[in-house]
Amino acid sequence: MKAIWPLIVLAGVAPLAGAQQVNRVSGIPGESHRVEDSTVLASGDVALAGERYYFSPSFSVLATLSRAQPDGTPLWTLSMQVIGETNTAFGVRELEDTSMLFGFHFGFQGDSLALARISAAGVPIWVRSYPGDSAYGAAGMERDRTVAGEFAVIANRVALPIGGAGQLLRIDTFGGNTIFNRAYAPDGVLTTAVYFNDLDFEIDSGDYYVTGGVTRVIGENEYENDLLVARIQRFSGGLVWCRAYTLPPREETGPRAEEGYSIELDSAGAVHVVARAETPLEEFGPSGALHLKLDPANGNVLATSFLPDVEPAYSSLDRLSSGNLLASGRRIFGDGQGQAQMWEVSSATALSPWRAEYTDGTSSGNDAVEHITPEGTFLTLSGWNYPQSIAPIGSPDQLFIQTDLFGSDGCSSIVWIPDPITPEVGVNNVALAVVNLEPGQALQTQNSLTTLETALVCRAGACVGDLNNDGVVDDSDFVIFAEAYNILDCFDPAMPAGCPADLNEDGMVDDADFVIFVPAYDQLICP
């Protein structure tokens, strides 16, 4: 059963002029397609890193990099596979020459971190593997722009003989050569495991900020899993500071568990973290998103807030042009169902001015970015979805939701102002040792290029009869309508995905739809 909140719905919030919101899915029949990370390219297109699941003739998982138009219309999808391994993507960033750096994990052995430089047309330029563990989407990637040249830094996790460790890998992007590959290991006495999930860096000093988790010894045979944040010197790799952040323990069941999922610096240099944490509100309850604002000089807590009932996504915190931040995740209902969410985080207070949920089917919001074009500024949420309002393409499909700056897609969204919750957070010092890891090496992959099918779940303010979405209802739309009319049944495999000519949404394209289409055709120009 779905939980019900008291909601304060944002009323009267209209989309920005020129930015017509869409909610769509893309995929291939008989396959599953997901997105873990996305980025807006200089051209205005969007790059999407994720996975492709084959179920027949045998089960396979391929890492995918997709390129789509600003409204999510697919252009191409590159699938990459280390044969015989499970391949899952975690990141994509555009480089100066419009090629892209693509990150994925393969298998579960010690050298399962992979990076590839991909051309703007989807052609691999180089592919390399590096020491580092597979963590299914849990790794952060950033372009290092502190010096001239092309570099990138990846935060990951790695297994050492003394326990799990956090990893920082810095490469040159021209050939993927290793600049450094460092592990930050636990001391084995007070800390028994460490891992990193995401990173950001400070332009002026070049220092890196990482977040993840740490297992601390708090008593005889007693351990606590806490949120980890550290500031690391760029050149030496030494710790400027490293802290564990924890919510107060529950009286009956003891310590709560916290884990840092995303980190981002705001325009003033303060460090913001979104963590997964057990609720501070009650003895038992669903996990939520803990927000921290930290002083970059020493890690002191400047502000906190908590959003209940949401699983935040890994490496998904992004800075908005307004100075605030954007986060994403998924509300889970406990019965296998759930819905994608996106919310804004104030850079001043760490509170959320709004929170949005997208209610069409079962879905997950895995990354959210701001999209600035000449036509307007909007937000884009990606992930995966089993849509209810249309026949799905795959199981599930890529999710692509375009919204206004308040999270409304004009279709399935519910937007509200969350109640302010500001928990107390404890802070403890953590000591880590730096260990050098081996450099990377060339990696052989099997690659294929395809284009996904796509269907609109809905389009805000859509023009009735504009079946090709070009702003007019003309002969090209009539051709589309006539072909669909001859097919009749929306669930016929020959029918275009989403059955756009079913104007009354009864599952058939028949005379009732023609009666709706004719006045729009006569009017020609969409209102």
Query: Mean pLDDT in runs of 10 for the chain (527 residues)?
Result: 35 39 92 96 96 87 96 96 94 96 89 95 97 82 82 92 90 95 90 94 90 89 91 92 92 83 96 94 78 98 96 96 96 81 98 96 95 87 93 93 93 92 95 94 96 87 73 86 91 76 81 86 76
Instruction: Return left, alpha or beta for 310; rule: phi > 0 is left, psi -120 to 50 is alpha, else beta.
Output: beta
- What local confidence, expressed as pLDDT, does residue 500 receive? 79
Helix segments in 325-444, DSSP class H: none
Cα atoms in the Cβ-side hemisphere of radius 13 Å centred on 257 = 11
pLDDT for 387 equals 92
**CA trace torsion 233, 431, 184, 191 (10° rounding):** -160
Q: Which domains does the chain have, with CATH numbers?
A: 22-450 (2.130.10.10), 466-523 (1.10.1330.10)
DSSP string, 271-290: EEEEEEE--SSSSS---EEE
pLDDT recorded at residue 13? 35
Residue in this structure with the two tokens 């919750």, named with its chain if needed: 421
**3-state class (DSSP) for residue 355:** strand
The order of strands in the sheet holding 74-81 is 31-40, 46-54, 60-68, 74-81, 446-450
CB atoms within 10 A of CB 286: 16
| pTM for this entry | 0.85
Radius of gyration of the chain (CA): 24
